[in-house]
Copies of this chain bind each other. A is one copy, B any other.
Amino acid sequence: MHAFDDALTLTPTDQHTASGRTTAAYANMVGPFGGTTAAIYLRAVEQHPERVGDPLALTVNFAAPIRDGEFSVLAQPVRTNRTNQHWTLTLTQGDDVAGTASAVLGRRRDTWQDTEAVMPRVPDPEDVPPIAAAPVPWLTNYDMRFVDGPMPMPGDRPSETSRTTLWVRDSPTRPLDFASLVAMCDCFYPRPFLRLGGWLAAGTVSMTVYLHATAEELSAQGSDHVLATASASRFAGGYADQTASLWGRGGTLLATTHQLVYFNDRRRS
């Protein structure tokens, strides 16, 4: 079993509740990699017997660090319409709420379509070296090849822009699905690192993913590299936003995703 599927293993405990546990493979500096947590919420919906349609939107609120060990996910379908379905979710450890989420699923229809955003022109992933170091465990599960804005090392000079662009895929490879796409939406290190030239205490507070890809488009993507590009609009008062796009190599816009990030520039290294 792929480490990602292992991390997403949820055992139903009653109609709307399932239990899971953190895995060492996706450990972050504090608690698990947020992308895995986001994927766990989605998986709880995907495996729920009342699920209708494919995921369209997911918002995850990181209320507190998840402690190593077991957790419970409550997934409630609060409204099912003709073409879409709304879910609310809560992740608890004992009596503590560690996070909440909401998901919108829907059936896509055949309509006019167009991709207006423009995929960055970058070298092929085969022509970009993968990162060698993994300062936190979860990074070892990804093949990351930075085209622009790699993670600064302590002592690096601040960058003038918060733009990072990289090729990313699971390592070892794994066919892309909605859950792994959602996880990849959180593959970026915090934008303040780049603008301040170093590492600081920082973490995602809230994250939203809009899934543009259909199941067929994901299937066509297979386990090929995904181009992920992110930047921020404003940093102030200990918070910054991040907006990002994930593209299939062939030019399919798979997802757009947005975050609010906490940072503390007094805790730097």
A253 within 8 A of B: yes
Contact A235 B205 (CB under 8 A): no
A260 touching B81 by the CB < 8 A rule? no
Chain A 202-224, CB-CB to B under 8 Å as 1, else 0, gives 00011010101010000000000
Contact A61 B86 (CB under 8 A): yes
Please measure, in the bound complex, the distance between the C-alpha atom of A114 and the C-alpha atom of B214, giving whole angstroms.
37
Distance of A142 Cα from B100 Cα, bound (Å): 34
- Would you give the shortest CB distance from A51 to chain B, in whole angstroms? 16
Q: Which of B83, B235, B260 contacts A56 (CB 8 A)?
A: B260
Contact partners of A210 in chain B: CB under 8 A = 241, 258, 260
**CB < 8 Å neighbour of A113 from B117, B206, B235:** B235
A86 to B108, Cβ gap below 8 A? no
Which of B57, B90, B111, B115 sits near A233, CB closer than 8 Å?
B115
* 0/1 interface trace, chain A 255-269, chain B, CB 8 Å (1 if under): 010101011111000
Instruction: Give the shortest distance, in Å, between A30 (CB) and chain B (any CB).
Output: 13
With an 8 A cutoff between CB atoms, is A78 at the interface?
yes
- Decide if A212 touches B238 in the complex (CB within 8 Å): no
A185 to B210, CA, bound (A): 18
Whether A162 is near chain B, meaning CB under 8 Å from some CB there, is: yes
A165 to B74, CA, bound (A): 41
This chain: how many copies in the complex? 2
CA distance A162 to B256 in the complex (A): 16
Given contacts A61-B86, A63-B86, A239-B56, contact A234 B263 (CB under 8 A): no
Q: Does B59 lie within 8 Å of A78, measured CB to CB?
A: no
**A265: chain B residues within 8 A (beta carbon):** 111-112
> Chain A, 100-119, contact with B by CB distance < 8 Å: what is the 0/1 string?
10101010111111111100
A243 within 8 A of B: yes
A238 touches B111 (CB 8 A): yes
**Which B residues touch A108, using CB under 8 A?**
236-239
Given contacts A100-B102, A102-B61, is CB(A161)–CB(B236) below 8 Å?
no
Chain B residue numbers with a CB within 8 Å of A238 are 83, 106, 108-109, 111
